[in-house]
Amino acid sequence: MSQRYRTIQIYLPNGDPTGIRIAELTTSIIRVIEIPRNLVSQFSKTDEANQVGFYFLFGGDNHNEVYIGQSGNLGSRLTQHSKNDDRDWERALAVVSLTNNLTQTHVLYLESISIERAKSCDRYTVINGNGGQRPHTPIPLRDDCDEIHEIASLLMATLGYPVFEPLVDDSKAEEREIFYCTRSGADAKAVYTNEGLVVLKGSRGLLNPTGKSRPDLIKARDRLIERGVIEVQGETTVFTKDWLFSTPSGASNAVAVMPSNGWREWKTFKGVTLDEIYRAEINQKADH
């Protein structure tokens, strides 16, 4: 996504930040509406509910599972999901046009590329049974859809659902600093981002910690094994994908399965800690 200034407004029709939220880019006709499952009936009474659009259902732990769909009548479709769907979803995002000009061809194509790109980014578990139906799409319409998808992605990320945002920007691979955690024989690599610390695919951790661990740390690591983020290989564990931790300590705890201070555990190739690079710089600026 191109990096330029954006102005986004978020409207709360009920005045409740945990209720329905409507996000718009001030220069675009695309609107994203976040709908709690218990407010689907309220949404179904709005004008947007009668539109053609595509949508996302979020569930699972920390809303990390997503179902992606499209419909000629969003209100009716989301009502069906709410009443009859056994999936454990709690929030829906509906993408519509302010001019109501999306067609079934638009949303079929948008559904298909959304499933494809969400799987490629691998932030969320996509629970669709198939990849959607991508119709024949003339080049002008396809270009329109790509622009719609880019704007929808931005609005979704602003609302807290970065489904299509890569964890690590590969276009800046030569610029980024790699941090290493080698505690007690671990061999893990990570990148520090705006969101936290991303442990990179192929990083190796400990299956059985050599020091004093804690049950909560073992349980947290085992949850990642159950989800397929980490797999067991002999006496070590291996990350099967890039994985974001909100804190450096959460990342080092998952690798070493022992209490740790991630700010000091993660170091550059030259041995400079994450703390020395980022927090020390903040402290120096504060002193001045």
Check whether residue 279 and residue 139 sit in a common domain: no
pLDDT for the residue 288:
42
CB 180 within 8 A of CB 189: yes
Please give the average per-residue pLDDT across 66-78, as a whole number: 97
- Cα gap 18→29, rounded to integer Å: 24
Check whether residue 149 and residue 191 sit in a common domain: no
At residue 82, what are phi and psi to the nearest 5 degrees? -65, -40
Sign of CA dihedral 240, 115, 161, 274: positive
- Say if 165 falls within a structural domain: no
- Say if 163 falls within a structural domain: no
Check whether residue 70 and residue 196 sit in a common domain: no
Which of 127, 158, 189 marks a domain boundary? 158
- Say if 229 falls within a structural domain: yes
- Say if 144 falls within a structural domain: yes
Residue pLDDT, tens place only, 171-229: 666 778 999 999 888 999 999 999 999 999 999 999 988 778 899 999 999 999 998 99
Check whether residue 55 and residue 93 sit in a common domain: yes
- Cα gap 226→246, rounded to integer Å: 20
Residue pLDDT, tens place only, 173-189: 677 899 999 988 899 99
Residue indicated by tokens 């302010």:
98
Check whether residue 184 and residue 206 sit in a common domain: yes
Which of 102, 130, 158 marks a domain boundary? 158
Check whether residue 154 and residue 199 sit in a common domain: no
- Say if 246 falls within a structural domain: yes
Query: Is the per-residue pLDDT at 268 higher than 60?
Result: yes
- Cα gap 210→77, rounded to integer Å: 53
- Cα gap 282→287, rounded to integer Å: 9
Which of 136, 158, 180 marks a domain boundary? 158
Check whether residue 142 and residue 238 sit in a common domain: no
Provide the percentage of residues in the chain whose pLDDT is more than 70: 94
Cβ neighbours around 102 below 10 Å, total: 23
- Say if 164 falls within a structural domain: no
Confidence of residue 139 (pLDDT cuts 50, 70, 90): very high
CB 210 within 8 A of CB 185: yes
Check whether residue 122 and residue 188 sit in a common domain: no
Per mean pLDDT, which range of 38-42, 190-194, 272-276, 282-286 is the poorest?
282-286
Domain that residue 87 falls in = 8-158
Q: At what angle do helices 104-121 and 139-158 cross, to 10 degrees?
A: 60
Helices (H), the chain: 40-43, 74-84, 104-121, 139-158, 215-226, 248-256, 262-265, 274, 280-287
Residue indicated by tokens 């996000």:
23
Check whether residue 145 and residue 205 sit in a common domain: no
Question: Which has the closest alpha carbon to 141: 110, 111, 115, 116?
Answer: 110
Question: Which has the closest alpha carbon to 71: 62, 59, 80, 84?
Answer: 80
The single-letter DSSP state of residue 273 is B
Amino acid at residue number 100: N
CB 265 within 8 A of CB 248: yes
CB 126 within 8 A of CB 66: yes
- Cα gap 95→69, rounded to integer Å: 11
Question: Which has the closest alpha carbon to 126: 89, 101, 156?
Answer: 89
The count of structural domains within the chain is 2
pTM for the structure as a whole = 0.86
Check whether residue 151 and residue 18 sit in a common domain: yes
Check whether residue 12 and residue 145 sit in a common domain: yes
Check whether residue 144 and residue 27 sit in a common domain: yes
- Say if 116 falls within a structural domain: yes
- Say if 49 falls within a structural domain: yes
